[in-house]
Structure 1
Amino acid sequence: MSDQPQPVASLWEWQFQGLCRSTNPDTFFHPEGERGPSRRRRDARAVAICQECPVITQCREHALSVREPYGVWGGMTEEDREEYYRKQVREATA
């Protein structure tokens, strides 16, 4: 294995295999002001798609590493990611 940096194209290659590419982006990103049951249903649909996706791990790792603020990524909602970050802080300070 080389210590040379990977070309940018290969870093993002996984995105071409995402099931989200053949799904309306509105499934993964909430409209302004969406709350309650409507948002939970949309998020659940997006997460269900992610669960079948061959690149869920790469997508999740990307979202967590860049702290994606919006949308469902790698089967994690915005709230899931926020909880993950809070847990990381708690573990680091424990």
Structure 2
Amino acid sequence: MEALLFENAPWRLDAACRTDDASLGEIFFSDELQHISQAKAICARCPVMAQCLEGAITRREPWGVWGGQLFRNGKVLTSKRRRGRPAKVLRPEDEFLQVPVPEHLRDRLRSA
């Protein structure tokens, strides 16, 4: 039932990620840091970011970038790094874009 409520949410029409094809799905549901940062940058300038994030929190989204936050297993990841041994010096393309959480949603976030 919640999925149907989300699909019919009128705010989705104004979402910055809304396209007629699935071209953005690759970046919003990727493990690549560059893709995640691209998705977060789209969310950061989206007029309905707060509504999207609120819906993702309510649904405990299992995966992807929603409302400017990266979800994994229903929780928000505050950081992410490449697989393997951590680099001694962080590469610019590995910067994890931080998108502020709207104040009214901060107490509802569950961090991993």
Provide the TM-score with structure 2 as the length reference.
0.55
CA change 1:14–1:82 in 2 (3 A) is same
Q: Which residue of structure 2 aligns with residue 28 of structure 1?
A: 28
Identity of aligned residues (%): 33
Query: What are the Cα deviations for residues 41-85 of structure 1, in whole angstroms up to 9, with x where unaligned?
Result: 110000000001000000000001110011100000125615641
Q: How many residues align?
A: 72
- 2:54 aligned with 1:57, yes or no? no
Larger fraction in strand: 2
Task: Using the TM superposition, give the Cα deviation of residue 24 of structure 1 relative to its aligned residue in structure 2, in angstroms.
Answer: 1.9
2:16/2:43 contact within 8 Å kept: yes
Tell me whether 65-74 or 14-23 shows the greater mean CA deviation: 14-23
Residue type at the aligned position of 1:20 = C
SS at match of 1:81: strand
Q: Which moved more, 1:63-72 or 1:14-23?
A: 14-23
Match of 1:71 in 2: 64
Aligned residue number for residue 46 of structure 1: 39
Larger radius of gyration: 1
- Which ranges of 4 or more aligned residues in structure 1 deviate by more than 2 Å? none
- Long gaps (5+) in structure 1: 1-7, 88-94
The match for 1:85 is 110
Q: Which has the higher helix share?
A: 1
